[in-house]
Structure formats: C-alpha cells, structure tokens
Amino acid sequence: MKPFKIRDIKIDPPLILSPMAGVTDFTFRRLIKKRGGVGMTVSEFISVEGMTRNSPQSKRMMRFLDAERPFAIQIFGSNPDRMAMAAEMAEEQGADVLDVNCGCPAPKVVKKGGGSGLLTDLPLLERILKDIKKSISIPLTLKLRSGFTNSDINCVEVSKMAEQCGVEHIALHGRTREQRYSGLANWDLVKEIKNAVTVPVSGNGDVTNVESAVEKFERTGCDGILVGRGAMQNPWLFRQINDALKGLKPYEPTLADKQEVLLEFFEYLSEDMHEKAALGKMKQLAGQFTKGLRGGAKFRQKLFHSQSADEILENIGVYFDTLSNNGTYGDNRVETEVEILDSCEAVSA
Ligand SMILES: Cc1cc2nc3c(=O)[nH]c(=O)nc-3n(C[C@H](O)[C@H](O)[C@H](O)COP(=O)(O)O)c2cc1C
C-alpha cells in the first residue's frame, strides 16, 4: 500500500481515477484531481478510428491539464495499424502513459473486435500490443476484464502474454463481459494476476468506501486500485483512502465543501461547453452526488428541472443555505438506495 511505478512514473498515491466514457472528461478529472488523493488520471476511451482520421471530438478528448500528470490516454479499436498510429498520436499529445482498452462490453465496440472483444482473439491482441510497443516510447498499459464469457475467464493468460509484449501495468476489472456490471468484481483474480506477472498490477471494481479499498489492498497484494463510479458519489473518496493508507483519520467533507464541489464543477463545465451541455453534465453528476445528502431527493428534483445556469445556481444556493441554517429541505431524510434509483429513473424517463 505504497506508491508504485509504471517504469519511471510514480503513481503516488497508488490510486487511479478509472476511465469512464461520458464522465471522466477534462472537467470531471479536473474536479476530482483537485480534491486530492489521485495518483493518476485516464482519459475516456478514445476510438482509434476517430483519432487517426483527425476527428475533432477525439482531439478534444485528448486534452488534459499539466496538473493532472501523470495522465494516461486510453484508446480502443482492433486494427493494429490504426492502434499503433493512434498510440503515437497520444504520445505526441503529451500523455505519460498509453492504455489499451480490453474491457468495454458495448455491442457496437465488441462487434468490431475492440474492447472486451480483444479477449476472444489473443493472436490479434498480441499483434496490437507488439505494434504499439514499436510505435511509442512512453509506457504501454492494459485495462482488461476477467474474460469474455463466464465460462472463459482468461485474464491471467492474457496478462502473461501482455507482459511478454512489453506491457508495463495491468489493471483488472474483475467482471466478465457477459456480466456487464452485474454481480460483484472478482478480486481473487487480481491476486492471481499479481502472482503471475512481474509488472505492477492494479485492481478495479466496486470500491465505494475506504474500508473496501483497504481490504482489497490487503487481500490481493495489488499495487494500485482504480475507482470509477465511487468518485461520482464521493469526490473525496481518493483523499479519504489515501488518508487511511497513511494511518490518518479519513477526511470528512463539510457542507461548504459539498456546495463548493457542485459550484466548481458547474464553473468548469461552463468554461468548457455551451450552457445546455453544461446543464446536462451537471445533472449527470448531481444524480450521483446527491446520494446520501439530507433532503437529497428534493434537491435532485430541483437540479434536474433547472432550465438555465441561473436557475441551477439559485437552487444550489437555496439548498445549502437551508441546511446550514439547520432548516428542513424536502423531508430532510437521507434516502435509501432503492429510493435513489427510483427517483433517478423517474427523472430521466
Ligand atoms: C459510465 C461508465 C463508462 C465507462 N467507460 C469506460 C472507458 O471508457 N474505459 C474503460 O476502460 N472502462 C470504462 N468503464 C469501466 C470503469 O472504468 C470501471 O472499470 C468499472 O466501472 C468498475 O469500476 P467501479 O466499480 O469503480 O466503477 C466505464 C464505466 C462506466 C460506469
């Protein structure tokens, strides 16, 4: 449970913001990195087909701030030439690490052989990794699922092969493609990979609090942990885990911190995109972030129904003013998981 290195790049603390398409863009990463405790950030996955055809969207997705370093660009695809070319472009863009996506379960990605589809064609994956290695000088890393189907779990075999190809860090999300996001991630496989290769290995899946992170480090001996969805619910999770790793009491965000994070996110979004897109992104984060807040259900409804920047800012102000004056907002309760899911679905329906 100490910092580790990907070649000469120190991952300190050993905690990585897991890539999430549509979520971990430039603004979200900036927000989370600033809360502390993040040892590395990763771009959303970027299509090599778009990148190598100079799509403006791919270019946008490669942007990062110096303050984010170390920063990895993650690519997906299945054509070895395009994968190698895109990897070179990512290096030119200034990324510290090039990560290959070997886990995306989306049918439109898998149908073309990319993402977790690569787990079904190891000779192709081997060729891709070797070709990329020849085209870049920054470290090459791999993020994979445990297997394609539940009856064909091949992540240990894939990891050994990847190491032979020169991959310098392996991150396992311990679910198969067949599982999508159901069930729980299998962290025993993280331990198996750790015992099978010499490069650093990180685990991923279902870390939503300090205790689960510490337990997983101890149980598997993994070098690092990637946290995805947990960061949307709790932007301080990395800082809290890092506090625990250092033997400190985990930081407890104040009401003012919680208000600040929402306002700051909206500010970053407004700097980066037009108002309608910023509102949409804000509602996406708010849907997660309001979980566990007092009167969160009503606050979420207010945010979801806000039609302009002024309205959203006003609603945030009223909510936090009410709570800080010990007033009652909605029914003032913290909802159960089931209620949260129901209200998110009702709002998005
Ligand atoms: C909305 C969403 C988008 C995702 N996009 C990516 C992606 O672009 N690349 C990737 O490797 N994994 C992606 N993932 C998977 C996450 O990185 C992570 O492996 C998974 O959510 C399990 O970790 P968690 O339980 O900490 O969220 C995505 C997950 C979600 C929920």
Q: Ligand 1, closest atom to CA 101?
A: 11
Mutate to test the pocket of ligand 1, among 18, 61, 97 (most ligand atoms within 8 A of CB): 18
pLDDT score recorded for residue 1: 80
Query: Would you call 165 exposed, middle or buried from its count of C-beta atoms within 10 A (0-12, 13-18, 19+)?
Result: middle
Residues of the chain with pLDDT below 70 are 335-349
Distance 61 CA to ligand 1 centre (A): 16
24-70 confidence digits (pLDDT tens): 999 999 999 999 999 999 999 999 999 999 999 999 999 999 999 99
Active site annotation includes 104: yes
Which residue's CA lies nearest to atom 28 of ligand 1? Answer: 20
- d(CA 135, CA 86) in angstroms, rounded, equals 9
Question: What b/e sequence results for 98-133 when a residue is b if at least 16 CB atoms lie within 10 Å of its CB, and e otherwise?
Answer: bbbbbbbbbeebbeebbbbbbbbeeeebbebbebbb
Structure tokens at 222: 């993994």
pLDDT score recorded for residue 349: 37
| CA triple 284-260-213, angle to 5 deg | 70
* Cβ(178)–Cβ(150) below 8 Å: yes
pLDDT score recorded for residue 343: 55
- d(CA 337, CA 118) in angstroms, rounded, equals 35
Which residue's CA lies nearest to atom 29 of ligand 1? Answer: 20
Distance 182 CA to ligand 1 centre (A): 13
Q: Is any ligand 1 atom within 6 A of the Cβ of residue 205?
A: yes
Indicate the SS3 state at residue 109.
Answer: helix
Task: Provide long-range contacts, Cβ within 8 A and 24+ apart, for 175-181.
Answer: 175/145, 175/146, 175/205, 176/145, 176/146, 176/147, 176/148, 176/149, 176/150, 176/152, 177/103, 177/105, 177/110, 177/116, 177/119, 177/145, 177/147, 177/148, 177/149, 178/148, 178/149, 178/150, 179/150, 180/105
Which domains are delineated in the chain? 4-245 (3.20.20.70), 255-348 (no CATH)
Question: What b/e sequence results for 245-272 when a residue is b if at least 16 CB atoms lie within 10 Å of its CB, and e otherwise?
Answer: beeeebbeeeeeebbebbebbbebbbeb
